[in-house]
Amino acid sequence: MEIKDKSMALLIDAENISPNYIEIIIDEANKYGKINYRRVYGDWTTPQLNPWKQKMNEFGLTPVQQYAYISGKNSSDFTLIIDAMDILYSGKVNSFCIVTSDSDFTKLVTRLREDNMFVFGMGESKTPISLVNSCETFSYLDKMLAASDSEVKATKSKTIKKNDVATTSITPLRKIKQELKNMINSNVEDDGWAYWSLIAQLLQKKFPGFHPRNYGKNIRPIDFFEKMKEFEVKKQATVIYIKNK
């Protein structure tokens, strides 16, 4: 299925995601096809969600009310999950975009994929790895926002707090490089080169949340690895090859 053929349901957990990300969310979702549903979930009687209300008309979002029946529990979870299943059975979409950093939605993503749905996620870098790896692909909103603002990007690239390592699901770059080496070795042709298109697919499946911007470089993955001393890249017409040095 081509990206242009995808019709999707965009479901946003407003109690878990800042409205500051909404423009990035819409732009990223549009890359994957037509957005049929634009729903945002939360208890709209609470003042904490007031900033979201300002964004609804601007981006054509449909608010869905869910009262907080259980104290201390994210109230949007239940309604979002029920809506997702209703949309699934309606047969009107073939993909879902789930926007949250809450691992409670991992089972939902798994269930949607069992029905052959293309599911991509968005959330902050604190998102548990279980949810990230359940998606077909995953985008870290805080990294995307930083990459779109050069000043913020420069600041973040110079200072890495110690507790960032413990609170992020972003895979360490050293692990990415080691797995990439293994993938190349396992798929090398007789001439010593591997097809980048194949390696890129394998890398995406292994690490759904991978993107160079997670490491301060908002460029294409192939350009990212080409700059590293461990790899060599060759381009012939429209075909790109990669090998370990």
Contact present, 8 and 97 (Cβ < 8 Å): yes
Residues 69 and 181 placed together within one structural domain of the fold: no
Same domain? For 109 and 141 the reply is yes
Residue 142 is which amino acid? D
Q: Is residue 167 part of a domain?
A: no
Nearest to 212 by CA among 167, 157, 158, 161: 157
Pairing mode, strands 231-236 and 194-195: unpaired
Q: Are residues 143 and 181 in the same domain?
A: no
104-162 tens-digit pLDDT: 999 999 999 999 999 999 999 999 999 999 999 999 999 999 887 644 444 344 433 43
Are 96 and 145 part of one and the same domain? yes
Tokens of 219: 């460029």
> What local confidence, expressed as pLDDT, does residue 152 receive?
43
CB-facing half-sphere around the CA of 213: CA atoms within 13 A: 20
**Rounded to two decimals, what is the model's pTM?**
0.79
Give 130's contacts (C-beta < 8 A, 6+ positions apart). Answer: 103, 106
Identify whether residues 76 and 189 lie together within a single domain.
no
Number of domains in the chain: 2
Q: Is residue 185 part of a domain?
A: yes
Q: Given 116, 138, 162, which residue is the final one in a domain?
A: 162
State what percent of residues in the chain have pLDDT above 90.
74
Does 92 map to a domain?
yes
Computed over every residue of the chain, the mean pLDDT equals 88
The full DSSP string for 56-101 is: HHHHT-EEEE----STTS-THHHHHHHHHHHHHHHT--SEEEEE--
Regarding whether 60 and 154 lie in a shared domain, the answer is yes
Q: pLDDT tens, 56-104?
A: 988 999 999 987 665 555 555 889 999 999 999 999 999 999 999 999 9
Q: What is the CATH number of the domain that holds 192?
A: 3.30.420.610
3-class DSSP assignment, residue 42:
strand
Whether 25 and 138 map to the same domain: the answer is: yes
**Residues 136, 227 within the same domain:** no
* Residue 116 and residue 96 in contact, taking contact as beta carbons nearer than 8 Å: no
Whether 47 and 139 share a structural domain: yes
Residues spanned by the domain of 208: 173-244
